Structure 1
Amino acid sequence: MFTALNSPFQHLTHPFLTQLWVKRDDLIDPYISGNKWRKLKYILQDAAEKGRKHLVTFGGAYSNHLVATAAAAARSGLKATAFIRGEKVLNEMLLLCQLYGMELIFTDRESYKDKPSCYQKHFANDPDTYFIDEGGASAEAVKGCAEIIAELPADLDHLFCAAGTGTTAAGLLQGIRTAGLKTRLHVVPVLKGGDFIREEIGKYVPDPMVADNIIAGSNDLILHTDYHFGGYAKTQPQLLQFMRKFTAGHGILIDPVYTAKMFFAIDDLADQNYFQPGEKIAALHTGGLLGIMGMKEKIAL
């Protein structure tokens, strides 16, 4: 299932930027799209090597990661279970999870904070299970995301990605440094207090000195923390207006949780003359478009 690929690299027209491109990882798969595909690639490989047949993971009621894991498990002949944060509901996302055969365990928010305990409580004596953290955060996920760099032009000046946990950004930075590129990685945290992303990225760097440099503020990693629009899954009219205009103008669907905030940041920075004329800028479209269904009342015209 996780065969080699090279998703499209598409040019975007922009009033100020002549070299604006988007890496269309949203087109990888309708249900295991974008960075979900990248993250799960080596997670499933590790599970197979360890002989595990049951994937156990975590997420909210509108988690794209849960749908991706459920789909990946079904296609691989594996069982899947998910701990769902919060009260029992049945929405479009969880329906897809169930259709793919995933078992759902609804967990109160306080208990959910201690994921290892949730896992141990239900599966301590089951050697067949494989723990997958929320969003797929892991060294295997970083490895998968690092491979994106080999699919991009080597002469990029700037690469943008949205971030929730920092796993995808950690992979991109690893790929850039391994290839010896001069590309600067721009990370747009989608939640308040996004500065913690630096520390999360540093956790995946084996060299302590390099990790400390990243946390302190390395020149090849720039965080733009002012584009969260109120916090995770929060929106404002300005963001929704931008999202509608972008989607209608380019024919590329983006979501208000992640990718709309990233593209808004690029647009706003261009308005401020942040970029030098002729610089080549790329944005990673990380998929996750099913999450739009959880915000349809806000998005509706």
Structure 2
Amino acid sequence: MLLPSPIHQVSFRGKSLFVKRDDLIDPFVSGNKWRKLKYILQDAAEKNKKHLITFGGAYSNHLLAIAAATAKNHLKATAFVRGEEVSNPMLTLCKLFGMQLRFIDRQSYQHKEALFEEHYANDSNVYFVNEGGASKEALIGCAEIIEELKEGFDHIFCAAGTGTTAAGLLKGINKLQLQTTLHVIPVLKGGEFISDEIAMYESDLNKLQLHTDYHFGGYAKTTPELINFIKDFTSSTGILLDPIYTSKMCYAIFDLIEKGIIKKDAKVLMLHTGGIFGILGKIDQFS
């Protein structure tokens, strides 16, 4: 484990950018996945639960993180995988770490608590982990990112799918009374709901700004412009971005600077939340 994760300064398109390298924490339980699972695993241990049940799509970094983390901690893991049964490199890695996969139709998948109850209601050894790790335990882990910062920043950026990581960051900013604006980039269409999700965990949203126009067509959607941005940024800085989360956030940063919404001389920190294996689902687009 590389903790606290380092902050690297890079230059790209004439702008200096600081990157919090949570992607370097662990090769498989990296970024916000490690932050979220830290206290989930602690809670499971305190309750003497040995079998984690979770949920995700066929290219879910969350599933891979759970699989690797449970293997390291000598626990069992089962995942309900959304959609028809498939085989891909991500799921193969999950199985290598010992995770059992249960494919479930998309309609049934929407009712995660019901699935859990249907299959595991009589098993006292299991522990429910929501999709993406969303939980109050995850919030505590993500808030610790702010506590690791040894200097101030005008702006902090993060990508968002469920809003848990963003809520933790905002809680940390508010707790330390920092003069920092948190910019959240939803990676799916209709991302306005993210602010409501954040508000479930943190009521003071004064330092939050949501930018909902950088989804590039929706969750797991890309465009040639985004793919070219990833190629350009990675070859210029040596930092690999994934096409699902971090690339959309990074693109937003430089677009907002170009538009004058973020001042060019502002001190900006980008949280790299890992998830690099997500590139496997789009690898043909980089050829």
Q: CA deviation at 1:299?
A: 2.6
Residue 25 in structure 1 maps to residue 22 in structure 2: yes
Q: Deviations over 1:147-194 (max 9, x none)?
A: 000112442100000000000000000000111101100000000011
* Aligned pairs for 1:105-184 within 5 A: 105-184=102-181
Q: Deviations over 1:225-253 (max 9, x none)?
A: 10000000001111111111001111110
Superposed CA RMSD = 1.2
Amino acid in the other structure paired with 1:199: D
Q: CA deviation at 1:4?
A: 8.2
Separation of aligned partners in 2, 1:176 and 1:16:
28
Corresponding residue number in structure 2 for 1:208: none
Long gaps (5+) in structure 1: 206-210
Corresponding residue number in structure 1 for 2:69: 72
Separation of aligned partners in 2, 1:294 and 1:4:
27
After TM superposition, the score normalised by the length of structure 2 is 0.97
Aligned residues: 287
Separation of aligned partners in 2, 1:173 and 1:153:
17
Q: Deviations over 1:47-101 (max 9, x none)?
A: 0001100000000000000000010001001010000000001111111111111
**Matched residue SS, 2:12:** coil
Q: Is the 8 A contact 1:190 1:228 kept in 2?
A: yes
Q: Is the 8 A contact 2:20 2:269 kept in 1?
A: yes
Residue 47 in structure 1 maps to residue 44 in structure 2: yes
**Matched residue SS, 1:13:** strand
**Matched residue SS, 1:279:** coil
Separation of aligned partners in 1, 2:90 and 2:51:
20
Q: CA deviation at 1:276?
A: 2.9
Q: Is the 8 A contact 1:154 1:181 kept in 2?
A: no
After TM superposition, the score normalised by the length of structure 1 is 0.93
Corresponding residue number in structure 1 for 2:7: 9
Separation of aligned partners in 1, 2:192 and 2:95:
36
Amino acid in the other structure paired with 1:265: A
**Matched residue SS, 1:82:** strand
Amino acid in the other structure paired with 2:208: L
Long gaps (5+) in structure 2: none
Corresponding residue number in structure 1 for 2:218: 231
Residue 290 in structure 1 maps to residue 287 in structure 2: no
Amino acid in the other structure paired with 1:244: K
Q: Is the 8 A contact 2:246 2:272 kept in 1?
A: yes
Q: Is the 8 A contact 1:86 1:107 kept in 2?
A: yes
